[in-house]
Structure 1
Amino acid sequence: MPSRAALSLRAARVLQSEPYVCPSCLINRQASFRRKDHITTAKQSNGSFYSIEPARRARAPRTKHTESRRYVSNGSLASTTAINAPTNTPNDLRELYQQLLLLQDKASSYVDLSRLQLAIRSLEAADPVIRVAFLGLGSSGAKAARKLARVLLADALSDEEAWEKELVDIDDGRSVLIKYGETLQDSGVQSTSNPLVRELLIPSPMLKRWNAEILVTGMNTSGLSGTGENANELEDSMIVPSLTIPNAGRVGFVRYPVHRAVVVAEGVTGAVEFGRLPASLTSGTQISAALSLPLRQDRPPQTEVDGHEIDVALAEHALALFRTNKANGAIFSSEWQTSRVGNVGSWIAASGMTEQASSLKPAVKALLRSILSRAELSIANASSAAETSSTSLTVPDAKRHTLVSAISSWSEEAHRDLQMNLSAALLSPTWRRTTWWRLFYRIDEVSISASDVLRRGWLAEAEQNLAFLSGRVLEAGLASVEELKGAATAAEVEKGSVKGLLDEETLDEVEKWKARQDKDAPSQKIETVAELMQVPPLLSKIRENTGLNAFFDPPWPQTIQFSRQQMLHQLVPAMHLKAQKLMLASLSTIGGTGALGAWLWVASGGVALYEGGAIAALGLVWALRRLQKKWTKERGDFVETAREDARRVLRDVESRLGALAREGGRVVIREEDKREWQEAGQAVQDVQKALDGVTSR
């Protein structure tokens, strides 16, 4: 049966045909189109801000491909031109870019397509924008994340701007995407009903210096324990946060991948929520934490502070104090250093600093390495899960050995049954009625006696024991009913090409008769009991000619029954015909020699009486001796043929059951899956090689 991994593979193949494009880029592209159509420019003061909300996608003629994409999961925002769009990829990154595209094609089932698309788009420019997520933890986490973003991005040398108040006061349930934007913007016609994300374009010098954008959203950790697979799910929910869609009439979400993430918590409640997270989760290069707690400005110098602790309220006080009077610069600097908010900014700035030996930003490089490590782990997990499933679904060897021993015991008993029961049947009065001298008055009983011997003494007990043994094989799961009956091989059963022993016309007759017996077929008239019990003429003819009952289809090998029916309808009639021929030849010889002796006596005038009697007696003796010799040989050939056919049938059944016991019931991994894992692993290695080549320059 197929495993669970197989069902998820099919879903991933559907998603792989739809490339992911980051929602912010999609919104940007729509906004630029509207700015071209609406050239209404308004100069705003330094305190102005723009809350540019994502507009609905422009309606376009739907093709069959895009229409089917509507029913794909809300797991990503996709664009049909995202991959094929012209790019400005630097020359030293083109090889890595191409290998990532191949990875998307070869290993789409084992990588996070949204993160992979983010990595691909990060290579399309020499200075890509780094996306950082501020994930609010707890009930007040989203508010704390917006406060932290406001303090970090605010310009201390200017007065409080309107976007700062707007950012803190936003309470519509949507996430906020903060991007750098100049004060001069095209207003255009903006839709305010897009439920995905609220976009703020702010003229923050910090955002421009970092070349980053910040996604502020909440995070739900309920149901995740932070151990085992839940830890991986928790990490995935941080680096690929899901943006909920409010007022959609149903639960929906959009996956929004980021380069790095900061978990933001506030107060005692936030500290408790933060304490539930595993310590290793926020100690890496992609995920950090900021726990807002009151920090004493006059604490002793030797007092150690957790690296994740900050004081957003103290930073806000320092910012407000400096804006009130620039002479408070010393106090501002002291409180700012005490709040440790600048550490978060330094961590964000470090993600975009290009190293001298590499043209990749640290955040992009960490993203690529994370994608590759996750892909290798997914491929290894898929392979090991398939191996484990194959091993668990395969019948244990101990049970196989038991059944092999049972089959050997059955074979021994069957040979003993053949030797004893057939010998007893040949010594019975039934078989003695076929002696040569009884042919003169019981020749019609030859077929009856031979058939009775075959039915009673030819592997009768072995066939019954075979039915019980077949039940044990079926119970152990070593074979299906079709394989056990021998009507088809396992490959034919899997392909559905099993024809069976009856042709289509006969099968139709059987189904019609069964339907009439079960009263399932629509009846045009009321049938009598005799008509209901009447067997179709075709099936009656089959049973008359071959002895096979088309309605009898037991779930065990029918080799013994078929061989017996073959002998009953071929060997027995041939033996009866031979007896008739021998009787005719003997009577002809006796009659001819008697006539010759009588003619000699008549011709001699009664003188050659003894000579004529000698000729008649010679013919009688010769005919009877010939009949005895040939019929005894015929009976011996019949017995020997029956014994040899029985041995051949037993060898065939034993070998087939033994093969099922040794090789049946094994779940083998498909070659297509092995080839897919190999190609995916090779694609990961190629990307790793290209990445190492870029970082080593």
Structure 2
Amino acid sequence: MPPRWGAAVPRLSRRVTGRAREGCGRASKTRSASTQVAPTAIHLRPDIASPRKELHDALAALGGVAQHHANRRRLQLALEGVAARDAVTRVAVLGLTSQASAQRLTRLLLADALGAEERWEQELAGAGAGSESAVLLKYGDDADADPPHAASPLFRVRAVPARLLRCHNLEILVAPLDATAAAPESPHEAVHVPRLLPVHKTLVFAEGLDSALAFARFTPHGAAALRRVAKLAVDLPPPSSEQEPGAQDGAAAVNTQAAAQALAAFRASIQNATAYERGWFRSGLPALSSWLVQGLGPATPIQPVLKTLVSSVVDDIEASVAREDAAQSQKLAALPSAQGASASIVRHLETWAEKSHAELRDQLDTAFTTRNWHKLAWWKLFWRVDDVTMISTQILERRWLTSAEKSSIFLAGRMNQAGFPDEVQPGPTVDKPATTAENTRMDISTDVRKSIPWPEHIAAARTDLINDLVPPLQALAQRLVLQTFSTTSLSSAASALLYLTMSNFSVFEASAVGVLGLTISLRRMQKLWEGARESWEGTVREEGRRTLKGTEEAVRMVIRNKERLDAGLVAGEDEGVVERRRVREAVGKVREALERIDQKKDV
């Protein structure tokens, strides 16, 4: 017998009890009530604690302007989670064409191996194969089963005294998912909002490869988007060796029969602990158990699972807006006048954008690994402090979108020859970079509107970067060097004073004060300077992407305006364009609020 199975009984008991009690350190006695989401107006919560209030307000504003793009139930769920400090997390377990298999899997995930089989386990395991009555599992005693106030024609509520539900403030919706009957455009709805009840994440359970292939055909274009909040588990014969819990990042291969046999054997006798552990890990269930509670940590200040839900909602809205933009662009491209010229310009624009993004990535990667940039390492700053401006300016002038700028001028010449104007009406917004580096005071957030021809956007953005990013970096370098020298000098003076005035201090004892001051000052200098350099690099990359995106959008706007004029359309923007712009602005505010929450979490 391998060494790992030695003393299996006590170790297994510790593992099972530890897994069952995981997360119980939180204040789980005061459980937040779960309410069914109604597609009504979103109610604001004026007593929301900071910093989640900004995110809540941004989400509420997004719901107001994105009525035709947002799933109201998912947005409402996200708003309720942001508003409540300890909101319930709802997970769906969907069985492909069979709810009975999903119920058996849920029973295995919630069952306590150290306890006897309970009545709710028998109900889940004994469901008929044709059962289509979805069930919502909440924490509670058996006496609380099917409370009258929670009745719904789409699902029934069952109270389950499972430790996993209590410790992690969980609810589990078990329902069937028919991948053959759903409409092609409804995969997201079926997975994200099963039985009209929105969930934070979904586990789809397939029996055999045929069922898994049916799910793949069900989500041909949305698999990548679903992967963030959904996981596919396939019931397959167990492997010859056990599986590690974190070994399956994508679809998980499990075997419910092996898991059920292992659970029954352990409950029959604790002497079967070795067989239980071997069978349980061979079944692949530990991977699903880990995924089930993944992201359910303390809200500091927001739970990862809630952040993922918010990001998913925002991504879906943005994708919906992009689809409408694509549809509108197709209509404009179908106009008979200037159709050939517009299509040619669009192709050249896409090629330019692809090459420009690749250039930005490769050139900056090269710039930030060269010897010149490494001359600004923190320990070289004492004799290189006056070179900060020169080196950082050289990077921006020689490595930041130089080829993209030349190519944009060539593209502008082709467009001018085809009769396209250089300027966009109204003038484009050129946003100066806004950066926040911890303890560096590099706050240079400004918004300047400039009506300039789009071929000059890159040059103007480079000038703004040099003016706004280089001087604060130079000032920080000088300030850190001065502070380091000052701290070292003060600590050295204190060391000398102790030696001269305190007769009981030896030379080594007094010198320790100076060494401590030197160490603290150098460590502080290293932390602040390296953090500022990383922030500077990230800002330069991000501003490059924003500039390229802004330039590309400006060119597309020029093309659309020219096509409208050629078709005799109204020269102004229609209501759909204005609405989508407002939605994008609201999406941007939500993303900014999420970023600020991440920054406060890291402080």
Distance 2:323 2:297 in 1: 35
What is the TM-score with the length of structure 2 in the denominator?
A: 0.50
The alignment status of 1:295 with 2:238, answered yes or no, reads: yes
Matches within 5 A, 1:48-127: 77-79=38-40, 83-84=43-44, 89-127=48-86
Matches within 5 A, 1:21-40: none
Distance 2:582 2:242 in 1: 59
Conserved? CA contact 1:391–1:667, under 8 Å: no
Partner SS state of residue 157, structure 1: coil
Matches within 5 A, 1:308-347: 308-347=252-291
Matches within 5 A, 1:205-216: 205-216=163-174
Distance 1:300 1:182 in 2: 34
Are residues 387 and 281 of structure 1, via their aligned partners in 2, closer, same or farther at CA, if it must alter by over 3 Å?
closer
Equivalent of 2:206, from 262, 265, 289?
A: 265
The alignment status of 1:348 with 2:297, answered yes or no, reads: no
Conserved? CA contact 1:110–1:379, under 8 Å: yes
Partner residue in 2 for 1:682:
585
Distance 1:389 1:314 in 2: 56
Q: CA deviation at 1:339?
A: 0.7
The alignment status of 1:161 with 2:64, answered yes or no, reads: no
Q: CA deviation at 1:173?
A: 2.0
Partner residue in 1 for 2:308:
366
Partner SS state of residue 131, structure 1: strand
Q: CA deviation at 1:668?
A: 6.3
Q: CA deviation at 1:391?
A: 4.3
Partner SS state of residue 294, structure 2: helix
Q: CA deviation at 1:298?
A: 5.6
Q: CA deviation at 1:382?
A: 2.0
Matches within 5 A, 1:524-673: 665-666=568-569, 670-673=573-576
Identity rate, percent: 28
Q: Which runs of 5+ in 2 are unaligned?
A: 1-30, 341-564
Are residues 176 and 371 of structure 1, via their aligned partners in 2, closer, same or farther at CA, if it must alter by over 3 Å?
same
What whole-Å deviation, never above 9, does each CA across 1:598-625 have from its counterpart, x for those lacking one?
A: xxxxxxxxxxxxxxxxxxxxxxxxxxxx
Partner SS state of residue 201, structure 1: strand
Are residues 297 and 268 of structure 1, via their aligned partners in 2, closer, same or farther at CA, if it must alter by over 3 Å?
same
Partner residue in 1 for 2:327:
385
Amino acid at match of 1:201: A
Conserved? CA contact 2:296–2:305, under 8 Å: yes
Are residues 300 and 379 of structure 1, via their aligned partners in 2, closer, same or farther at CA, if it must alter by over 3 Å?
closer
Partner SS state of residue 227, structure 2: coil
Are residues 671 and 268 of structure 1, via their aligned partners in 2, closer, same or farther at CA, if it must alter by over 3 Å?
closer
The alignment status of 1:375 with 2:317, answered yes or no, reads: yes
What whole-Å deviation, never above 9, does each CA across 1:534-561 have from its counterpart, x for those lacking one?
A: xxxxxxxxxxxxxxxxxxxxxxxxxxxx
What is the TM-score with the length of structure 1 in the denominator?
A: 0.44
Are residues 223 and 153 of structure 1, via their aligned partners in 2, closer, same or farther at CA, if it must alter by over 3 Å?
closer
What whole-Å deviation, never above 9, does each CA across 1:345-400 have from its counterpart, x for those lacking one?
A: 10011131248xx52222111111112222222223323322432443x453599x
Q: Which has the larger radius of gyration?
A: 1
Conserved? CA contact 1:158–1:323, under 8 Å: yes
Distance 2:226 2:333 in 1: 38
Conserved? CA contact 2:234–2:251, under 8 Å: no
Partner residue in 1 for 2:176:
218
Partner SS state of residue 293, structure 2: helix
Are residues 191 and 178 of structure 1, via their aligned partners in 2, closer, same or farther at CA, if it must alter by over 3 Å?
closer
Distance 1:123 1:374 in 2: 18
Distance 2:155 2:258 in 1: 29
Are residues 127 and 323 of structure 1, via their aligned partners in 2, closer, same or farther at CA, if it must alter by over 3 Å?
same
Q: Which runs of 5+ in 1 are unaligned?
A: 1-24, 31-75, 244-254, 400-661
For the aligned residue pairs, the C-alpha RMSD in angstroms reads 3.6
Distance 1:112 1:87 in 2: 23
Are residues 667 and 143 of structure 1, via their aligned partners in 2, closer, same or farther at CA, if it must alter by over 3 Å?
farther
Distance 1:376 1:370 in 2: 10
Are residues 236 and 398 of structure 1, via their aligned partners in 2, closer, same or farther at CA, if it must alter by over 3 Å?
closer
Are residues 669 and 354 of structure 1, via their aligned partners in 2, closer, same or farther at CA, if it must alter by over 3 Å?
farther
Partner residue in 2 for 1:694:
597
Partner SS state of residue 147, structure 1: helix
Distance 2:310 2:328 in 1: 27
Are residues 349 and 88 of structure 1, via their aligned partners in 2, closer, same or farther at CA, if it must alter by over 3 Å?
farther
Conserved? CA contact 2:32–2:86, under 8 Å: no
Are residues 118 and 195 of structure 1, via their aligned partners in 2, closer, same or farther at CA, if it must alter by over 3 Å?
same
Moved more, 275-284 or 150-159: 275-284
Partner residue in 2 for 1:648:
none
Distance 1:150 1:198 in 2: 16
Conserved? CA contact 1:282–1:288, under 8 Å: no
Partner SS state of residue 221, structure 1: coil
Amino acid at match of 2:252: H
Conserved? CA contact 1:88–1:125, under 8 Å: no
Are residues 79 and 378 of structure 1, via their aligned partners in 2, closer, same or farther at CA, if it must alter by over 3 Å?
closer
Amino acid at match of 1:677: R
Amino acid at match of 2:43: I
